[in-house]
Amino acid sequence: MEKHILRLKVNGDEYEVYIHPKTLLAEVIRDHLGLTGTKRGCDTVSCGACTVNVEGKSVKSCSVLAIQCEGLEVTTVEGLEVNGKLSQIQRAFLDNGSYQCGFCTPGMLMSSTAFLSELEGKKPSEEEIRESIEGNVCRCTGYNSIVRAIDAVAQGKYKEE
């Protein structure tokens, strides 16, 4: 199969990669760009560990071809920290102990970042918060500490630094 030159914008940086058209976005992010914060768990769209944001919407990067993202803004967990400052949801995860082994954490952070940005100041219910991460599996925390962290940010307890 012929290879394709893909131009991709990830975390604000422009990349050019030479790939087969059927290469998954998850594969490009980890294997070509070396952004290994994004995890691959199931590769069957079930666990959410590979979640990244494309144009601000959370997307399971094992479920899309990289060429589908040509010209779009992709954000990975590495892109949440800006100028050495953690994002609000990253700080809330730290403060609430919202991780144990950490394998699900990048995906959880990306899903909750997309969810929080769509709220536009609206305060979500606990049910809405739980729904926002229902595509992300965590085998360690029992989810409550993750829900607390998302709620703390939604309630305005964190400011941009």
Contacts with ligand FES, residue ranges (CB under 6 A): 40-43, 45-50, 60, 62, 99-105, 138-141
Amino acid identity of residue 150, one-letter, is I
Q: Is-contact 36 76, C-beta < 8 A? A: no
Give the shortest CB-29-to-ligand FES separation in angstroms: 11
Nearest to 146 by CA among 81, 75, 94, 78: 94
Q: Closest CB to ligand FES among 22 and 139?
A: 139
Q: Closest CB to ligand FES among 62 and 149?
A: 62
Give the shortest CB-61-to-ligand FES separation in angstroms: 7
Q: How many CB atoms lie under 10 A from the CB of residue 96?
A: 18
Give the shortest CB-99-to-ligand FES separation in angstroms: 5
Q: Closest CB to ligand FES among 37 and 84?
A: 37
Nearest to 111 by CA among 48, 65, 44, 41: 48
